[in-house]
């Protein structure tokens, strides 16, 4: 029985120590995988794509016409990164992504899918009542904004190009990257300055 009062970090550390002591895992290998997901695979990659699209109109055009090729230009490709379709949020249209069958997700751009993305309730409800689910997640959209729900699959993975927030016009691509969140690239949040 676990003590729920023990922070998750301590429980993970204890589990790792047991696995290392028993020779089931190698700490150096685990550190390598963790570093890979922190620096090479993850939301930072997607944020770089978004920031480039916001600052380079030619890149944005390529991104919207062939997402797979455009993200590959920045070095982001691989398993779960084939067939990327980019959906642009505008003042009139808000796109949100779900995978109703499992959890198809653009890993090279967003890293590992969050637990809520894989949750059957999210997968079912987002299709039926997207505004209610978005509101529960903290995103309230005006009634005149059309919400479009896109169902990712093994054939196509959708990626949301969030609207660039007002007041960021003078920021460089590097300054914009930290503003972009994974949730905004899934469509359950907006980017705020």
Catalytically active residues are 99, 102-104
Instruction: Give the Cα separation of 154 and 82 in Å (integer).
Output: 9
Q: What are phi and psi of 157, to 5 degrees?
A: -120, 125
Instruction: Give the Cα separation of 14 and 5 in Å (integer).
Output: 15
Angstrom distances, CA of residue 71 to CA of 62, 64, 66, 115, 186: 9, 10, 9, 25, 16
Q: What's 94's DSSP letter?
A: E
Element (H, E) at 84: strand 84-88
């Amino acid at each position: 029985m676990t003590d729920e009062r023990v922070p998750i970090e301590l429980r993970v550390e204890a589990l790792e120590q047991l696995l290392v002591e028993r020779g089931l895992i190698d700490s150096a290998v685990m550190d390598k995988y963790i570093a890979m997901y922190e620096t090479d695979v993850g939301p930072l990659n997607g944020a770089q794509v978004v920031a480039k699209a916001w600052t380079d109109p030619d890149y944005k055009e390529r991104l919207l016409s062939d997402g797979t090729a455009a993200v590959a230009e920045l070095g982001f490709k691989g398993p779960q990164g084939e067939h990327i379709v980019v959906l642009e949020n505008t003042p009139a249209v808000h796109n949100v992504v779900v995978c109703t069958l499992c959890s198809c997700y653009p890993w090279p751009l967003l890293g590992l899918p969050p637990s809520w993305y894989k949750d059957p309730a999210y997968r079912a409800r987002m299709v039926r009542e997207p505004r209610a689910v978005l509101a529960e997640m903290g995103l309230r959209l005006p009634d005149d904004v059309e919400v479009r729900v896109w169902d990712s699959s093994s054939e196509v993975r959708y990626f949301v190009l969030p609207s660039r927030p007002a007041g960021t016009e003078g920021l460089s691509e590097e300054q914009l990257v930290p503003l972009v969140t994974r949730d905004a690239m899934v469509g359950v949040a907006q980017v705020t300055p």
